[in-house]
Amino acid sequence: MFQLNGKIAVITGSGSGIGRATALLFAKQNAEVHLIDVNAESINAVEDEINKENGNAVAHVCDVTSQKQVQDIFNAIGKIDILVNSAGISHIGNVETTNETDFDRLYNVNVKGIYNCLKAAVTLMKQNHSGVILNLASIASNVGIPDRFAYSMTKGAVLGMTLSVARDYINEGIRCNCISPARVHTPFVDGFLKKNYPGREEEMFEKLSHSQPIGRMAKPEEIAHLILYLCSDEASFITGCDYPIDGGFIKLNN
């Protein structure tokens, strides 16, 4: 079950975190994995890691905010069976403390970047009358998170784009879903704590971990396994859905 033999998968943001974990898992399931990331060093390292384990990975350095870069790379890949939109950035601030530059930066990566990839991928998927798209939304798409104004805006847009694509292309054989993780222990979290709470990293890590009712953050690999299921043929009846993977955050955090 959940094998991806013969599937060509494009995974954005695959240089680290959830994207990296998804790329490693897809490669183990025999997909041809195309790695998309703006960081050449990290994406080349993931490519080497996969290929050394007899997987099949190709790295493409790409800024997803550039529609031309995205279209050129996707067209060069040619056939795309699976797209995972994992590239994204975060921001801390409410509406008053979020300046225009930060708002635009979040929008360009988290909204326009996904739009660019959706536009390029759907055009190719229509040619084969099949395809699967998985977008990374967030619990911030569903509930209010303190001091995440711009981030929540972008993740709400991801949910809306997911539903629109699912509806518009259901008769083209294209499925589109999203998932909404709570906090996941990625390098971003470690960097955030080091920058904002020097000397208190361990204390704040525990505090953030216990904001999930389950008492910890998710591991990137746990998120990747849900992504694998939704992108596999076993999930062929699922489209237009958002799946929380949140340690009980949305329903149990009263």
Any domain includes 3: no
Instruction: Judge if 196 and 73 occupy the same domain.
Output: no
Residue 195 and residue 152 share a domain? no
Do 56 and 171 sit in the same domain of this protein? yes
* Domain coverage including residue 240: 8-182+221-246
199 and 229 co-located in one domain: no
Position 113 scores a pLDDT of 98
At 254 the pLDDT is 61
Q: pLDDT tens across 108-125, in order?
A: 999 999 999 999 999 999
pLDDT digits (tens, 9 = 90+) for 206-242: 999 998 999 999 999 999 999 999 999 999 999 999 9
In a domain, 107, yes or no: yes
Least confident segment among 13-22, 124-133, 195-204: 195-204
Name the residues annotated as catalytic: 151
Q: Is residue 123 part of a domain?
A: yes
Mean pLDDT, rounded, for 11-26:
97
Whether residue 35 is found in the same domain as residue 114: yes
Mean pLDDT value across the chain: 96
Averaged pLDDT, 18-32: 98
Indicate if 202 and 236 belong to the same structural domain.
no
Overall domain count for the chain: 2
- Long-range own/partner contacts, residues 61-66 (CB < 8 A, 24 or more apart): 61/37, 62/12, 62/36, 62/37, 62/38, 63/38, 64/12, 64/36, 64/38, 64/109, 64/113, 64/114, 64/116, 64/117, 65/108, 65/109, 65/112, 65/113, 65/116, 66/116
Query: Is residue 242 located within the same domain as residue 118?
Result: yes
Pair 10, 77: CB distance under 8 Å: yes
Same domain, 105 and 206: no
The whole-angstrom separation of Cα 146 and Cα 232 is 35
Among residues 107, 102, 203, the alpha carbon closest in space to that of 154 is found at 107
Q: Report if residue 253 sits inside a domain.
A: no
Are 160 and 209 in the same domain?
A: no
Pull the structure tokens for residue 53: 């384990």
Residue 193 has pLDDT above 90, yes or no: no
- Averaged over 179-191, what is the pLDDT? 92
| Residue 2 is assigned to a structural domain of this protein | no
Q: Does a structural domain hold residue 254? A: no
pLDDT tens readout for residues 121-151 = 999 999 999 999 999 999 999 999 999 999 9
Instruction: Compute the distance between CA of residue 147 and CA of residue 237 in angstroms, rounded to an integer.
Output: 37
One domain for residues 213 and 225? no
Query: Does residue 52 lie in a domain region?
Result: yes
Res 187: pLDDT: 85
Q: 209 and 103: one domain? A: no
CATH code of the domain containing 94 = 3.40.50.720
Planar angle of CA 153, 67, 108, nearest 5 degrees = 25
The answer to whether residue 157 is domain-embedded is: yes
Provide the percentage of residues in the chain whose pLDDT is more than 90.
Answer: 92
Tell me: do 48 and 96 sit in the same domain.
yes
